[in-house]
Amino acid sequence: MLKDHPDIDRHCRWVDVKKRIETESRYRAVESGVLREDYFHEYCRIMKEEKKRAKEDKVKDREREKEKKEKKGKRDRSKEREREKKRRDSYKDRESSVDQEEGEHPPTSDDETDKLQKDRERQIRAEASIKEREKEVQRTLATHLRDRDKEREHHKRDEAIRHFTALLADLVRNADLTWKEVKKQLRKDHRWELVEQLEREDRERIFNDHISNLTKKKRDKFREMLDELLQLELTSSWKEIKKIIKEDPRYLKYNSSEKCEREFREYIKDKTVEAKSSFRELLQECKLITHKSFDTLKDNPNHLREIEDILKNDKRYLVLEHIAHERTQMILHYLEDLFKRGPPPPPTASESTRR
């Protein structure tokens, strides 16, 4: 079918060619789009090889013609030398009577031989130049073809990755499955042949990324559920929370209660870190606390209670009630840190620093 289109050559792009022939029955007889493209590129490769052979035959013909000319030139030069020898013999008796003072010598056969030799050298240089240009064209073409093949392979790989990602999205929705378990299921799907060209390491890497995404989504949904619980506090136990969420689909996504409990404990740990950070912000907002508070506390131990009496009106203080001793230590460390830094710079100085 491709041969029936003389306008299709090896420089055509598959995207353009496909538009011209997609209505033909011979095109539709090949079901796979990837296979059609492979047939097209194979046809282009064959055309390239045929052109290369034709060019090589042409070069061989020129070389044979060149050999014929060289042989003929040798015969002509041999005959010319014979004729020259005869002429020299015939002129030999008259050379003594030639007047040497009358002017220039007539051209000799040596001059003619030199001229032929120079013409021959020019021809050889011209042919060598043509060959060098042909080699340069071949090198450029080879580079172009290599780049095109690399681009084509890159495109095929990207397409295979897209197919594999879609296949995983359709068939693998359980984050607890292993690659060994999933591979058997994937091989049964007709799309598997589209991703077989991927390296085994690539398939496993993409699968692991997919499982990581599923795990993250499940974890985010679980934490979203915990955020919605008004009863949940930093002191809540897993046993209490489990009774509340046991019917929630976001809890049921986990096939193991131990995994849920582990995720719950991580959640409480993260929330505790956030609560401590919020408490530090509260200390910075408290107007009673200054760089002098540390010295004041040394002179008046009740100063700490005065500070806490103000802070306890804020939820950020109360939420750390279960770790009251650690909360008090945070206050003391903050007072000591302010003392070491000394008085804050005046507004004009800080403004100058910013500039």
Sorted by where each begins, the domain ranges of the chain are 1-64, 138-228, 274-347
Q: Do domains 138-228 and 274-347 have the same CATH topology?
A: yes
| pTM of the full structure | 0.53
Q: Which CATH number fits domain 274-347: 3.90.1200.10, 3.90.230.10, 3.30.230.10, 1.10.10.440?
A: 1.10.10.440
CATH architecture under which domain 138-228 falls:
Orthogonal Bundle (1.10)
Cα–Cα distance for residue pair 166/158, rounded to 1 Å: 12
pLDDT of residue 327: 95
Are the CB atoms for 55 and 48 separated by under 8 Å?
no
Q: What is the pLDDT of residue 206?
A: 94
Give the span between the Cα atoms of 150 and 154, in whole angstroms: 6
Tokens of 278: 């919020």
Alpha-carbon span 14 to 8, nearest angstrom: 10
Q: What's the longest Cα–Cα distance across the chain? A: 147
Q: What is the pLDDT along the chain (355 residues), one digit of tens a residue?
A: 766 777 777 677 767 777 777 777 776 676 666 677 777 777 787 877 887 888 888 888 888 888 888 777 777 777 777 777 776 666 555 555 544 444 444 555 677 888 888 888 888 988 888 888 888 888 888 888 888 888 888 888 899 899 999 999 999 988 888 999 898 889 888 888 888 888 899 999 999 999 999 999 999 999 999 999 998 999 999 999 999 998 999 888 887 788 899 999 999 999 999 999 999 999 999 999 998 999 999 999 899 999 999 999 999 999 999 999 999 999 999 999 999 988 888 776 555 555 4
Q: What is residue 104's predicted lDDT score, i.e. its pLDDT?
A: 47
pLDDT for the residue numbered 344:
82
How many other C-beta atoms lie within 10 A of the C-beta of residue 137? Answer: 11
338 neighbors 294 (Cβ within 8 angstroms)? yes
**Structure-block tokens of residue 7:** 């306008």
Q: What is the pLDDT of residue 61?
A: 81
What HEC string does 149-202 produce? HHHHHHHHHHHHHHHHHHHHHHHCCCCCCCHHHHHHHHHCCHHHHHCCCCCHHH
Neighbours of 229 (CB within 10 A): 13
